[in-house]
Structure 1
C-alpha cells in the first residue's frame, strides 16, 4: 500500500514540481568512530537520499521552535537537489534518541556499533602521541556509556542496530538490510561511494601529515573519500598496558555486544 501511495505521489510531484518529501528522515547515531561517517557516505549515494554534510547536533537544542526550524531547513535542502528524503548523522545523538522520537515520531534511527577496543584506539589517536595513554581510558568509558544509552532503544521498531564489522564482512547484504528498514531498494552504485568527492570535514581531501590536532579534520575528510577498507582489529596495535586498560573498562559491554 505504501509503495502505491508513494508511486502516486511521485507522479503528482513530477507534474507540479516536488513540493514535499515522501519519506521520513533517517538519523545515524552511535559512539564516535563507529562508522557513522562511512554509513552516511554510502547512503548519500542512493538516488533518493540526501546526506546532510555535517553533524548538526539538532537534538541538543532546547527549544522546540529551533528543532522544527532546522528540520524544515533539511527538508528544503533535500528538495533543492531533487531528493525524496534525507539522512543526518550526529554520533552523540545516541544520547538523544528519546528526543528524536519525540520530535520526529516516524523517523528511522540507525544505531552504529563497533568493537569498543577499536573505537578507543581510533578515538585516542586524535591526540598527539604524548597524550594517547592519558586519553585511551576516557575514550573506552565514552564507548561504554554511549552504548549503554543506546541499548535502551534496541527493541524500538524505529531503531535498527548495525555493526560496522558487518559492513566490512558483507557490504551488500548489510546495506540492503539498512535500506529495507528505510523502505528503499539497494542500488549497486552505493559501493562506489568513494568516487564522489566530499568536503564534509575539511576543504582539503589530501591525506595530511598527521591524524591528530589541527590535522584531524582533514584526516577524517581524507578517510571519507577512500574506498571501503577494513578497520577491524586495529586495537592490537596498542601497547599491552593500554590493551589491559581498555579491556578492563569495556569487557562487560564487549560481551553484551558479541565482541568477546
Structure 2
C-alpha cells in the first residue's frame, strides 16, 4: 500500500477545503487544517544549519511547535513528543516537517498524510524537493467564480486585478505541471465535476492515489469538525452536504466591468478548461492596462524569489529531502527498515 504524501493545490476559493475533507474522510488518509510552517522553514533553511546535528533538529522542531505564526496547534499533537521524534529522526529538513504531518495521521490511526494550501500550486518544485515521492491533486474552478469569491473573503485585501492574476497563475502553473510531471504524480479535476458527481470523481482520485474508494468521502461533514477550525467562518459551508449552489454564481456577484475583464484576460484559459464565455463587451483600456501591470509585477516578484532560491540551493547546509516513507528512503539510498524495527 502507498505511503506517499498528498498535496491539494489550486487557486484560493476553488473548493480545496471541500476536497481536503473528502480525502480526510478516507480511512487511510489524514489531511489537517492549514498550517504555516512548511514554506517558512524551507526558505529559512540556512538559518537552521546542518540538520544532521541533533541540536539543530531540536531548534527547528521547537520553532515549529512553539512559534505563534506556524499554527502547529491546529494539528493537536503533543509538542514535546514531536520534538523528541524529530531529534530521533533523520537529519533533513523534509524529515522534520514530515514528522509533524505523520504524527497528525497517527492521531487518527491512518497510514498516509496530506496537506492543503492553495498557493502550493506555484511551489510544487519546492514540495518535490522536500517530499520527492509526493502526489498532487489540482482542483480547478471557473475563474469568474474564484474572483467573485475572493472579493468577499475577510482575509483578502487585494483588488479584482490581483484576484484575476491569482487564477491565471494557478492555471498556468497547472499547465506546466501537466507537461512535466509523471501521470502518477499530478492529477487535476474541475470543481464543477466534483460537485456534480462526487462518487465518480472521487473514484478517479482514489485510482490515482492507488487507494480503494470509500463511500464516506462523498459526505465529509463529520471530517469538518476536526479538519476545519471553527474560527474559519468562510468555510462554514463545508459543514454541510456537497452542493452546487455556488456554481456559476459569479454572474450575480461580479460587476459588469469585472466580467468583461475576466473574460478578456482569462478567456483562452477559461475555454481550455471547458468554461463558456458570455461574449461580454471588451473592457476599457484602463482596466486592461491595470490588470496587465498587476500581472507583470507579480511575475517579476516570483522570478526574484526563484532566483534567490536557486542561489540558496548552492549553499544548503544539509539534506532537504524527507527520509520517512519507503520511496523517500529508497531515493535517498537509506536502507529500508524491517517492520519489527519500526517504532
Gap regions ≥5 residues in structure 2:
46-50, 52-91, 277-343
2:153 is paired with a residue whose SS is coil
2:132 is aligned with 1:105: yes
Question: Conserved in 1, the CA contact under 8 Å of 2:31 and 2:227?
Answer: no
2:226 is aligned with 1:245: no
1: distance between equivalents of 2:37 and 2:208? 23
| Match of residue 163 from structure 1 | 190
Question: Conserved in 2, the CA contact under 8 Å of 1:30 and 1:91?
Answer: yes
2:223 is aligned with 1:233: no
Deviations 1:131-172 (A, max 9, x none): 99x822220111001221221111422000111111012111
Matches within 5 A, 1:1-260: 6=1, 23-56=3-36, 58-60=38-40, 61-62=42-43, 63=45, 65-126=92-153, 135-155=159-179, 156-157=181-182, 158-198=185-225, 200-204=227-231, 217-220=232-235, 222-230=236-244, 231-237=246-252, 238-260=254-276
CA RMSD of aligned residues (A): 2.3
Task: Give the alignment's TM-score, normalised by structure 1.
Answer: 0.79
Task: Give the alignment's TM-score, normalised by structure 2.
Answer: 0.61
| Match of residue 301 from structure 2 | none
Deviations 1:105-153 (A, max 9, x none): 211110111110111011111259xx99x82222011100122122111
Higher relative contact order (CA 8 A, sep 6+): 2
Question: Conserved in 1, the CA contact under 8 Å of 2:101 and 2:114?
Answer: no
Gap regions ≥5 residues in structure 1:
1-5, 7-21, 205-216
Runs of 4+, deviation exceeding 4 Å? none
Shift of 1:81: 2.3
Shift of 1:200: 4.7
Question: Conserved in 1, the CA contact under 8 Å of 2:24 and 2:223?
Answer: no
The structure having more radius of gyration, on CA atoms, is 2
